[in-house]
Amino acid sequence: MNNKSSSRWLRLSAGFGLCLASVALPFLPGVHAAPQQASLSSVTSTAERRDVSPIAASPAFSAQDLSAPPLENWLKVGGSLFNQNWSPLKQIDRENVGKLKAVWQTHLDGSALAMKYSGEAQPVVYQGLLYIVTGADDVFAISVKTGQILWKYQANLDQSISTVCCGWTSRGIALGDGNVYVGQLDGRLVALDQKSGKPVWSIQAEQWQQGYTITAAPLYYDGMVIAAFAGGENGVRGRVKAYDAKDGHLIWTFYTIPGPGEIGHDTWPKDSDAWKYGGATVWQTPAVDPELGLLYFTTGNPGPDFNGRIRPGDNLFANSMVAIEAKTGKYRWHFQQIHHDLWDYDGPNPVMLFDVKVGGRIRKAAAEANKAGWVYILDRTNGKPLVGIDEKPVPQEPRQFTSSTQPIPRGDAFVPQSIDVAPEGFALVNQGRIFTPFWAEGVVAKPSARGGANWPASSYDPDTNDYYVCATDAPNFFKGGEDDQKFPQSGQRYLGSAFGGMPLPANGIFAALDMKTNRLVWQQRWKDSCYSGSVTTEGGLIFVGRNDGRLTALNSSNGQRLWEFQTGAGVNAPASVFEYQGDEYVAVYSGGSLFAGASRGDSVFLFSLKGALTPGTEISSQTPAAPPAEHR
């Protein structure tokens, strides 16, 4: 047993202000405990307590608690129920951010360092404890004061899981009623005791063998744990489920592909089982408006991705923003962003809620940036467009049963939606514009199937009504379509072709849009893809990570880079901002990403104006006074 803290003495060469340097991040072996049988589960997992310091158990948070702007705590992924990723703190501002330094760096025992993993989780913070989950679904509780790991839960995932799309990842945990809730890639939903990391209950929410995984952070709300299920490339029927936070029993299920007799079922072919394999899975943590009692999310593409011939019709509720009753899961409204999608232009970016003045009065808005390159701004009371979205004719391909029109938002796209010069070896059809249809011969077009905006969370400034989106500009070779495609076996890939890249670099686009008009405020191009969520603060800053290992701070008014810090691994997760003992802190997970091609790491960093980590500085956390306890 290795009893040393994972936040050990280390020597760093780090970058501050606009000074770049390299960082050496040695692999540090972790603490390993004997397997434990999880409660209500046949899964082997490990929970290990490393410190006897008191850990405050969270209450059953009220809607008011979870709706309030985050101050001393960062209670959930997205910052609040509105998913704004906004902090009202302003101790760190444009004038002094150049003095920001690291307080500590904590290694997560080498969890999720293999190439298949991605580190995309946003830290959750409550009363001096930070909770983080890795791409291996291992959960850590870390002291904000010392950087010391207080307990660890090890999921011990079955390495033969074969139905994960797009990298083994988890985008966060949920917290409430004394528990930490984590959704796993094996389809399990687990509640951990917040004080020890020991499983309280564990249920098999869905089977990975049938194509389902959980990559989004669960949502704790009103005594429920709400989980969304991924798997849209595996011929599944999408769903969102609510469970009792006390014991994990199922409360309600909402199917994102309506069955016979339900609203929207007529958008699937008659006398066909296509709807049973229709996809429309959910890659994000939903938003909630407690006043309206509604829960909001957007859905993924229909299945199969690139073959519309087997599924004529609009294919609801794929590629849609959906509002359901939070208490019951009952359908209230939907708005489809892409009809009969052929391009994988789905909506993995989290839905955001805010109030904005449009047409001379304050309106309740719900917005989402999707892979097509637009922000869709709706009235969250009824799903009607706020700024305007027009149905416009698009090119047709009869073999794909293409929709005659597509909804086009008024305002500006945040990424290019056509190709000015043909790539070498390819002919341009329709100038490579968005919604160019295809068949087996294929076409080159923009945006690519990766976006546009992908899962990395957007952020918002309620003072300016500016919405900040991280996106990628890249062409894609779209090819697909089969006359006689068969329905898949359980858990089998169901694409109708294959994802087609191009031998050209992808550039990141980071943009600000005014939500009163949906017009660009500013926009910048990066040399690499943008694949990290952002957080905005009252101090006039945007914190956003880069694939090359930097965490950066931008001026929110114009995008100017004011500060950066080299972490040594891809920063592909959103940061969290909170106050502790009178000081403002920024915490971020530096884990890298498969999709972004970023270097892997296993570190959490904490920053403040009182940090001491400068080039050549040695820092550490205290070693536990006693060996960590093992729970078996």
Residues catalogued as catalytic: 344
Q: How far apart are CA 403 and CA 50, in angstroms?
A: 58
Q: How far apart are CA 292 and CA 381, in angstroms?
A: 7
> Is 36 in contact with 50 (CB distance < 8 Å)?
no
| CA-to-CA separations, 12 to 468, 529, 565, in angstroms, rounded | 32, 26, 11
Q: How far apart are CA 630 and CA 165, in angstroms?
A: 34
Q: How far apart are CA 299 and CA 545, in angstroms?
A: 25
Detail the DSSP E strand segments found in 546-599. Answer: 550-555, 561-566, 576-580, 583-590
- The amino acid sitting at 147 is G
Q: What is the DSSP string of 510-549?
A: EEEEETTTTEEEEEEEESS-----EEEETTSEEEEE-TTS
Rg (CA), the chain: 23
Strand 534-537 with 86-87, pairing:
parallel
| Paired residues of 618 in beta bridges | 11
In the block, tokens 């790539």 appear at: 423
Kind plus residue range of the DSSP H or E element containing 391: strand 389-393
Residue 618, SS3 per DSSP? strand
| Paired residues of 628 in beta bridges | none
Number of Cβ within a 10 Å radius of residue 62: 12
- The amino acid sitting at 161 is I
Distance between terminal CA atoms of the chain?
Answer: 15
HSE value, Cβ hemisphere, 13 Å, CA-based, for 48: 24
Q: What is the DSSP string of 306-362?
A: T-GGGS-S--TTTTEEEEEETTT--EEEEEESSSS-SS-----SPPEEEEEEETTEE
Residue 619 has phi, psi (to 5 degrees) of -135, 165
DSSP annotation of 168? B
HSE value, Cβ hemisphere, 13 Å, CA-based, for 440: 3
Tell whether the torsion through CA atoms of 106, 112, 113 and 115 is positive or negative.
Answer: negative
* Exposure class string for 296-318: b at 16+ Cβ within 10 A, else e: bbbbbbbbbbbbbbbbbbbbbbb
Q: What tokens does 446 get?
A: 């923009």
Q: Which of 107, 102, 145 is nearest to 4 (CA)?
A: 107
In the block, tokens 């056509």 appear at: 418
| CA-to-CA separations, 300 to 241, 320, 590, 594, in angstroms, rounded | 16, 8, 27, 20
Q: What angle do CA 104, 107, 109 make, to 5 degrees?
A: 155
Q: What tokens does 41 get?
A: 């589960």
